[in-house]
């Protein structure tokens, strides 16, 4: 399929580059680091070869979210966003931008998002999971009431927010001791992000701000497969849900969430996601440079789905969600 739009596609600036070291092993670091720092060279060539018209770019992980010093987090976010705006301006048909945000301070994050959207035309924001604020290990999740004024600004700006993974902090990762292979994209990324998303759904956030649009990657971080059980476990008891939200969790998942195919190129998983959340809420992505564009594109282009759904997932859903129709 030609004209695909991909939106979990990362870059790095020198200040954040080493945050990606170690995930894929020392032997491939020269290749990975070169991929992260490149925007207009090999990246565009890969897009051309595999039918990707546009990428919405975002900073690598965990980057800003793992900087406990608020002033430093804000400085890195602003510098990364300014750099990204310059890169997009060089080739806006091929690239658009997600803002990095200093969510250690919700007010600062709201102001930076407003700057990026209104002054530089960014299409939304991407945050790498929870933010550490004040001291390493002091983790803040975005369902907390202190973030609700920030979410009001996101809703007012009418832009999507991409909840991207990061590993749990070491003090909370005892279950992985001796099994480090389970960290990162194998398992811990998905578990961490799924719980964060469920916290947001159960908190009442989407009752207060019903027009929020949240994107999660990797075909939903396992959530589509578990949605029935989340809402219907032990139903014979008649017990009421013990969370503040007014409706079943699946209601918020279906209305307020969009899923991407990033880094999860399996047809069975795609079909499950389509059955649970609908083809209108699924978006093509690759997860470059951590995954290959050809692996994503070759699989998606051949997946046994209707051509109408392929067009939606590959292009038109993203055009609508990110207001790319007039580009």
Select which of 19, 69, 287, 294 is catalytic: 287
Burial-class residue 232 by CB neighbours within 10 Å (0-12, 13-18, 19+).
exposed
Q: Tokens 């998303």 — which residue?
A: 197
> Residue 319: CB partners within 8 Å, gap ≥ 6?
5, 325
Query: 278's torsion region: left (phi>0), alpha (psi -120 to 50) or beta?
Result: left
What CA–CA distance (Å, rounded) separates 35 from 29? 10
Q: Is residue 204 part of a domain?
A: yes
Q: What does the pLDDT read at residue 327?
A: 41
pTM above 0.95, yes or no: yes
Q: One digit per residue, pLDDT tens: the chain, 327 residues?
A: 999 999 999 999 999 999 999 888 899 999 999 999 999 999 999 999 999 999 999 999 999 999 999 999 999 999 999 999 999 999 999 999 999 999 999 999 999 999 999 999 999 999 999 999 999 899 999 999 999 999 999 999 999 999 999 999 999 999 999 999 999 999 999 999 999 999 999 999 999 999 999 999 999 999 999 999 999 999 999 998 999 999 999 999 999 999 999 999 999 999 999 999 999 999 999 999 999 999 999 999 999 999 999 999 999 999 999 999 754
The CATH number for 68's domain is 3.20.20.140
Q: Is residue 327 part of a domain?
A: no
Residue 138, CA distances (Å) to 65, 69, 168, 171 in order: 11, 11, 12, 11
What CA–CA distance (Å, rounded) separates 70 from 210? 29
H or E element, residue 93: none
Residue 125 and residue 151 in contact, taking contact as beta carbons nearer than 8 Å = no
Q: What does the pLDDT read at residue 24?
A: 86
Residue 148 and residue 208 in contact, taking contact as beta carbons nearer than 8 Å = yes
H or E element, residue 311: helix 307-311
H or E element, residue 30: helix 29-37
Q: Is residue 85 part of a domain?
A: yes
> Residue 90: CB partners within 8 Å, gap ≥ 6?
40
Q: Is residue 33 part of a domain?
A: yes
Q: Is residue 270 part of a domain?
A: yes
Residue 254 and residue 228 in contact, taking contact as beta carbons nearer than 8 Å = no
Q: Is residue 172 part of a domain?
A: yes
Q: Is residue 49 part of a domain?
A: yes
Q: What does the pLDDT read at residue 25?
A: 85
Domain extent, residue 161, equals: 4-321
Structurally, the chain folds into a number of domains equal to: 1
Residue 312 and residue 242 in contact, taking contact as beta carbons nearer than 8 Å = no
Q: Is residue 326 part of a domain?
A: no
Q: Tokens 């992000």 — which residue?
A: 193
Q: What does the pLDDT read at residue 326?
A: 52
Residue 59 and residue 102 in contact, taking contact as beta carbons nearer than 8 Å = no
Q: Are strands 52-59 and 4-11 parallel, antiparallel or unpaired?
A: parallel
Q: What does the pLDDT read at residue 158?
A: 98
Q: Is 287 a catalytic residue?
A: yes
């Amino acid at each position: 399929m030609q004209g695909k739009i991909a939106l979990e596609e990362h870059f790095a600036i020198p200040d954040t580059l080493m945050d990606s070291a170690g995930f894929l092993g020392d032997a491939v670091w020269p290749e990975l680091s070169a991929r992260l720092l490149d925007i207009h060279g090999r990246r565009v060539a890969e897009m051309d070869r595999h039918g990707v018209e546009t990428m919405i770019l975002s900073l690598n992980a965990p980057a800003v979210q793992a900087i406990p010093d608020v002033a430093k987090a804000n400085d890195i976010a602003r510098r990364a966003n300014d750099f990204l705006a310059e890169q997009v301006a060089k080739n806006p048909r091929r690239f658009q931008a997600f803002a990095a945000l200093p969510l250690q301070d919700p007010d600062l994050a709201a102001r930076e998002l407003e700057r990026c959207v209104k002054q530089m035309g960014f299409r939304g924001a991407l945050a790498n999971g929870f933010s550490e604020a004040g001291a390493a290990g002091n983790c803040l999740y975005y369902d907390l009431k202190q973030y609700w004024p920030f979410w009001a600004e996101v809703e007012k700006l009418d832009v999507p927010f991409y909840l991207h993974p990061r590993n749990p902090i070491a003090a909370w990762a005892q279950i992985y001791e001796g099994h480090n292979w389970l960290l990162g994209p194998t398992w811990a990324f998905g578990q961490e992000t799924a719980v964060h998303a469920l916290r947001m759904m159960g908190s009442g956030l989407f009752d207060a701000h019903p027009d929020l649009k949240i994107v999660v990657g990797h075909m939903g971080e396992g959530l589509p497969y578990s949605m029935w059980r989340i809402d219907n476990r032990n139903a014979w008891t008649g017990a009421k849900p013990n969370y503040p939200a007014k409706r079943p969790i699946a209601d918020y998942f279906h209305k307020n969430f969009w899923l991407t195919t990033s880094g999860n190129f399996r047809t069975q998983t795609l079909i499950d996601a389509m059955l649970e959340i609908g083809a209108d809420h699924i978006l093509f992505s690759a997860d470059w440079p951590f995954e290959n564009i050809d692996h994503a594109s070759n699989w998606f282009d051949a997946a046994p789905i209707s051509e109408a759904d392929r067009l939606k997932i590959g292009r038109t859903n993203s055009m609508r969600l990110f207001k790319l129709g007039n580009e």
